[in-house]
């Protein structure tokens, strides 16, 4: 059952035409809120929000968060930033600007409006971790001059800014660190491991694994992530985060490839390529804080989530005219 708020809120979601942002907007609209979606459509797409364009409580603004935005809202969710290596390494300077200047502009807006603001941070702040699983107290092992640093350090700096605004201006902040999220509306060519494997399997192509496939990830379905984000936003001012949101179940990349092939119903050759620089060997959240503070646990299994994701990509590839089984 969808729970309605006692009063409708006007909520800004930056990056709202993106993968996670569009799912978040769906949920917030279902709760009765009025939504402003701001996105420059660099990686987001109107396709993700086209079903909302005639909604009476939805407004789309094509806007780049590296520039100030002047709107009147009750809450802000800041999700604006390319999140896949293919996209964030395309223009690394712009990626850093999006994280840092975007945070400054959105925090400035929250300060002026005296409203609550949410930051979608990332497990990439832990880098290639020396602690496993990763608790929020771990400071990370990040290469500050590597090809991933534009994203890793940009998000780390954004967290710094959020906590400095909280300390200096008493801005009410909520910070989550999202681990590998997957599901419908992922971009078919974003270079992430789930979308790569699903698209390759559907097209009957060999599965590409970088490294030997023994590196691990923890995959969380997008519906579970959205639920955790909203739960954090609903907490009182004493809860700031950062809070890990991710599925604590750990899988090797080889296991993921085998699961995808089984669901698609095709066996495929596996092609191994060199591991990219600074690619983490292990990634698994310590989710105890989210369970304690938010009473949150992921509910969608990897099998269920992959089935939904495969169904989505079958349709999406057909729309793009790409032959798929």
What's the N-to-C CA distance of the chain in angstroms?
A: 36
Does any domain span residue 121?
Answer: yes
The stretch 177-201 carries a mean pLDDT of 92
For the chain, what is the domain count? 1
Cα Rg for the chain, rounded, in angstroms? Answer: 19
Does any domain span residue 150?
Answer: yes
Percent of the chain with pLDDT over 90: 81
Does any domain span residue 108?
Answer: yes
Which token pair is 19?
């993968």
CATH number, domain with residue 89 = 3.40.50.720
One-character DSSP codes across 157-225: HHHHHHHHHHHHH---EEEEEE--EE-TT--TTS--HHHHHHHHHHHTPPEEEESSS--EE--EEHHHH
Does any domain span residue 323?
Answer: no
Does any domain span residue 48?
Answer: yes
SS3 for 238? coil
Does any domain span residue 257?
Answer: no
Q: Name the residues annotated as catalytic.
A: 151
What is the domain extent for residue 171? 10-182+221-247+279-299
Under the banding of pLDDT at 50, 70 and 90, the label for residue 74 is very high
Q: Which residue has the tokens 């223009």?
A: 91
- Choose from 39-43, 124-128, 224-228 the range with maximum mean pLDDT: 224-228
pTM for the model stands at 0.94
* DSSP state letter for 237: T
Give residue 243's pLDDT. 98
The stretch 285-289 carries a mean pLDDT of 96
Cα–Cα distance for residue pair 309/323, rounded to 1 Å: 17
Give residue 1's pLDDT. 33
pLDDT tens, residue by residue, 295-306? 999 999 999 999
Under the banding of pLDDT at 50, 70 and 90, the label for residue 64 is very high
Does any domain span residue 211?
Answer: no
Cα–Cα distance for residue pair 286/323, rounded to 1 Å: 40
Q: How many alpha carbons fall within 13 Å on the CB side of residue 98? A: 28
Name the nearest CA neighbour of 98 among 113, 112, 116, 83: 83
Does any domain span residue 30?
Answer: yes
pLDDT tens, residue by residue, 238-276? 999 999 999 999 999 999 999 999 999 988 888 888 878
């Amino acid at each position: 059952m969808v729970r309605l708020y006692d009063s409708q809120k006007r909520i800004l979601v930056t990056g709202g035409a993106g993968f996670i942002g569009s799912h978040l907007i769906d949920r917030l609209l279902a709760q009765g809120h009025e939504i402003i979606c701001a996105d420059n459509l660099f990686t987001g797409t109107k396709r993700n929000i086209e079903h909302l364009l005639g909604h009476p409580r939805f407004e789309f603004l094509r806007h780049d968060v590296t520039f100030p935005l002047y709107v009147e809202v009750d809450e802000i969710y800041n999700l604006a930033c390319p999140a896949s290596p293919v996209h964030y390494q395309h223009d690394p300077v712009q990626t850093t600007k999006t994280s840092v200047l975007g945070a400054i502009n959105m925090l400035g807006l929250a300060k002026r409006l005296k409203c609550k603001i949410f930051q979608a941070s990332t497990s990439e702040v832990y880098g290639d971790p020396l602690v496993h699983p990763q608790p929020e107290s771990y400071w990370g092992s990040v290469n500050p001059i590597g090809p991933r640093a534009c994203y890793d350090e940009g998000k780390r700096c954004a967290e710094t800014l959020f906590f400095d605004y909280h300390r200096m201006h008493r801005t009410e902040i909520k910070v989550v660190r999202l681990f590998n999220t997957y599901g419908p509306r992922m971009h078919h060519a974003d270079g992430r491991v789930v979308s790569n494997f699903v698209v390759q399997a559907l097209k009957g192509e060999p599965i590409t694994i970088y490294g030997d496939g023994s590196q691990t990830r923890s995959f969380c379905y997008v519906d579970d992530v959205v639920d955790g984000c909203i739960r954090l936003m609903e907490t009182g001012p004493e809860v700031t985060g950062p809070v890990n949101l991710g599925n604590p179940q750990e899988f090797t990349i080889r296991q993921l490839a085998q699961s995808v092939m089984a669901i698609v119903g095709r066996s495929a050759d596996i092609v191994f390529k060199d591991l990219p620089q600074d690619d983490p060997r292990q990634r698994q959240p310590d989710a105890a804080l989210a369970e304690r503070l938010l009473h949150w646990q992921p509910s969608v299994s990897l099998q269920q989530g992959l089935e939904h994701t495969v169904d989505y990509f079958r349709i999406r590839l057909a729309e793009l005219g790409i032959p798929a089984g």
